Amino acid sequence: MPQRLVEITSEHSTLLPSIVKAKQGPPYTIIEREGNYYLSFVDTDDPMNTQKAKQDADILLANISAMLTLPPYRTPNALKRTNRIITIDDNGAKLGKVH
């Protein structure tokens, strides 16, 4: 199944690095790749349908952002999605163009 990497940013310089270092598990993770941070999740939909991937990412980010308002973070509106999406196939190859 294709893996989606949706680039995310934060105005809080230490937030994303601390999340990456924290213990994370499925169904999604936040990773660092080539100096950028990405919300990573498996997508069973059409790998070329990036609009659906953006919608899925927005839902996941809303849930993560809600959790980040709780201790120890207490950071409202902490994460934002960019329009950069990378789709990776089961062999680790990028599919289509990077959006």
State pLDDT tens for residues 73-93. Answer: 888 888 999 999 999 988 888
State pLDDT tens for residues 56-72. Answer: 999 999 999 999 999 88
What proportion of the chain, given as a percentage, has pLDDT over 70?
96
What is the pLDDT, as a whole number, of residue 80?
A: 95
What is the pLDDT, as a whole number, of residue 98?
A: 63
The pLDDT of residue 8 is above 80: yes
Q: Which of 26, 29, 41 is nearest to 86 (CA)?
A: 41
Q: Which CA distances in Å does 71 have to 24, 56, 74, 76, 96? A: 17, 25, 5, 11, 40
The pLDDT of residue 97 is above 90: no
